[in-house]
Structure 1
Amino acid sequence: MSEGMIAIIKRHPLTALLVWFFTVGQLLAFLPRIAEAQGVELSVPLFVTASNLLGLLLPALVLTWLCDGRAGLRALLDGILTWRRNPWWYVFTVVVVPLGALVLALLLAGPPDAAGPVIPAALIQRLVLQTVLGLIISNLWEEVAWTGFVQVRLQQRHGALRAALLTAPLFALQHAALVAGGSFAATIILLLVLTLLAISFRAVTGWLYNRTSSLLLVGLFHAAGNAAAVREWPGDGMLPLLYPRENFGPVHLLVSAAVGVIVIAATRGRLGADPRRFRSTAAESAVARGRANGKG
């Protein structure tokens, strides 16, 4: 790679990540759809994982190293390994959305069809196991990129709430391969709805990170929400086992959105961010970029 190209990437790291992801990353995510049209069956979870690892995590790490050096990369990795936080944060990340999804399912469909030994299995094998698998396979690495790289950098420039608003449509578009399959109009409508719900979700992830500096907790919140209701990724979650004849796929998104609205209101849109800290960080980043470009 030429020095000129590296200089451009350093000046526009967010654009560089998005260009890489929405070409290489999304190609990987859409390959099962493309193969299906040719009569070939490919594993959707496998290619979604590859998309997250090669399309999101890899460029986030490389770009952080290019733009912020070893210290910046170490700080990003520290966020992944930060786990010593008040236990109540773990209660929040693991319990709130699954419990809300279960309550909403009870209100919509009544008591679950399954009972007896199926209930412990839904909690342990589905909710707990799928949360751990989702965290390790996908959700932690997604949040390293979306929260730790994209949203944090946008927050330095625009503030916490605007960062969530700007990240939401990009995060929604990441899931285009998963919601595609119907008509073009239906896909667009689903993406628009997902974008609206993602605004509140990104507000929660921003708040979690601002308050804890832990990408692990952010990824755990993401994984636990998926494990409550999602089918087939990385396996059926809690509600599909309790309500095998119902489809509660969007329930966890609605609960996450409700939690996000509460967080936005409770923090008055600040999302736990310290404006002085991020102004200082932004100024330091600008100085560093200026020196790298020979302006300082």
Structure 2
Amino acid sequence: MQSTLVTPAGPVRSGISRWIAGHPLTAFLAWLFTVGQGIAFFPLLVDVPVPHQVFIVATSLLGLLLPAVAITWIADGPAAAGRFLRRFVDWRVAWRWYALALAVVPVVAVGLARPLLGAPTGSWTDALVSGFALSLVLTLIPNNWAEEGAWSGFFQARLQQRHSLVMAALLVAPVFALQHVSLAVGNPLPVAVAMLAFLAVLMVPYRILTGRIWNRTGSLLILGLVHAAGNAAGPGSGFGDGLLRTLYPGEAMTAGFLHLLAYAVVGLAVLALGRK
């Protein structure tokens, strides 16, 4: 099933509204990489007594979700914006999509960890409860739900009106990776560039995965769960360690990025299936 949010546009106002309606993706990126990144970089420039994750959440809500909704309203009208928002609570999909969203990426990540890191030394109970379940909630509701709403339901969905699934993923992956530039700052420049390039490459199959799920379900709830479950399996919520970091407390760096490899493995498997 091909899902789309784009509807024939009604009368458009002059000036900035007309430009936004004619260039919705450019307008989105302009907001993200000014206002959105300004929020993300603020705690790196000013010492604030709150966790940095608070600003990451604010970036997702104000730098990603807000412009996605506003631009949809301007370009396609209030009815389209309402349909977009309803996608966030579209839970009426087959149970297998929930199984895919919640289990597949974490299981693959754990499977990759065993040959790379050996037997886990942490508690499975702690890893599943405080590491995975709690992180899933803390990263889904304020962060990854909004993030996938903007990237999958707005940006990538519009690209798929003009491009194939794979081409849309190739176009989204670099800017999606660049959104995380504030997390790479602090490393030497060559290392930071390598980190972002590595992320961009791994995000191509991940964006194929999210595009396939979007095309088949149109549910931003499922997409938010996919993103959140992966983060909960790896680094965690930003307010605490995730599943793998809890299982491998001495391997925080490696355990923190194995979910990215798992995203890529699952995305490549989905691509190999060859169904739209």
2:120 aligned residue (108, 112, 116)? 112
Query: Do the aligned residues in 1 keep the contact of 2:208 with 2:271 (CA within 8 Å)?
Result: yes
| Whole-angstrom CA distance in 1 between matches of 2:107 and 2:50 | 33
Equivalent position of 2:256 in the other structure: 249
Q: Confirm or deny: 8 A CA contact 2:40 2:56 kept in the other structure.
A: yes
Match of 1:126 among 123, 127, 131: 131
1:66 aligned to 70, 74, 80, which one? 74
CA-CA distance at 1:142 after TM superposition: 0.4
| Alignment of 1:238 onto 2:249 | no
After TM superposition, give the deviation of residue 105 of structure 1 in Å. Answer: 1.2
Residues 103-123 of structure 1: CA distance to partner in whole angstroms, max 9, x if unpaired? 111112222112xxx312211
TM-score by length of 2: 0.91
Shift of residue 178, structure 1, vs aligned partner: 0.9
Where do residues 101-250 of structure 1 align in structure 2 (5 Å cutoff)? 101-114=109-122, 118-231=123-236, 233-247=238-252, 248-250=255-257
Q: Number of aligned pairs?
A: 262
| Alignment RMSD | 1.4
Distance across 2 between alignment mates of 1:197 and 1:8: 33
Identify the residue that residue 29 of structure 1 maps to in structure 2: 40
Residues 77-131 of structure 1: CA deviation (Å, up to 9, x unaligned): 12111111111111111111111111111112222112xxx31221122211211
Unmatched segments (≥5 aa) in structure 2: 1-12
- Asked whether the equivalents of residues 230 and 259 of structure 2 are also in contact (C-alpha less than 8 Å), the reply is yes
Report how far residue 177 of structure 1 moved: 0.4
Q: Deviations over 1:143-179 (max 9, x none)?
A: 1110011000000011221111100001000110012
- d(CA) in 2 for partners of 1:124, 1:85: 26
Q: What amino acid does structure 2 have at the position aligned with 1:57?
A: L
Aligned equivalent of 1:91 = 99
* Residue of structure 2 in register with 1:266 after alignment: 273
Residue 80 (structure 1) aligned with residue 91 (structure 2): no
2:267 is matched by which residue type in structure 1? G
Cα distance in 1 for partners of 2:144, 2:137 equals: 10
Q: Distance in 2 between matches of 1:182 and 1:160?
A: 34
The structure whose RCO (Cα within 8 Å, separation 6+) is larger is 2
Give the deviation of 1:212 after TM superposition.
0.8
Tell me the residue number matched to 1:55: 63
SS at match of 1:158: coil
Q: What do the CA deviations read for 1:40-62 (whole angstroms, capped 9, x no partner)? A: 55521011111111111001011
Off by >6 Å, runs of 4+ in structure 1: none
Task: Measure, in 2, the Cα distance between the counterparts of 1:137 and 1:235.
Answer: 15
Cα distance, 1:22 vs structure 2: 0.3
Measure, in 1, the Cα distance between the counterparts of 2:256 and 2:124: 19
Letter matched to residue 28 of structure 1 = I
Using the TM superposition, give the Cα deviation of residue 231 of structure 1 relative to its aligned residue in structure 2, in angstroms. Answer: 4.7
Relative to the length of structure 1, the TM-score reads 0.85
Instruction: Say which is worse superposed, 230-239 or 163-172, in terms of deviation.
Output: 230-239
Q: Which amino acid aligns with 2:33?
A: F
For structure 1, the residue ranges without an aligned partner over 5 or more in a row are 273-296
Letter in 2 for 1:260: G
Letter in 2 for 1:68: D
Classify the secondary structure of the residue corresponding to 2:249: coil
Q: CA offsets per residue over residues 181-222 of structure 1, 9 Å max, x none?
A: 111111111100000001011111111111111011001000
Answering whether residue 30 of structure 2 is matched by residue 19 of structure 1, we say yes
- Cα separation, partners in 2 of 1:88 and 1:193, compared to 1, 3 Å: same
The residue type equivalent to 1:177 in the other structure is S
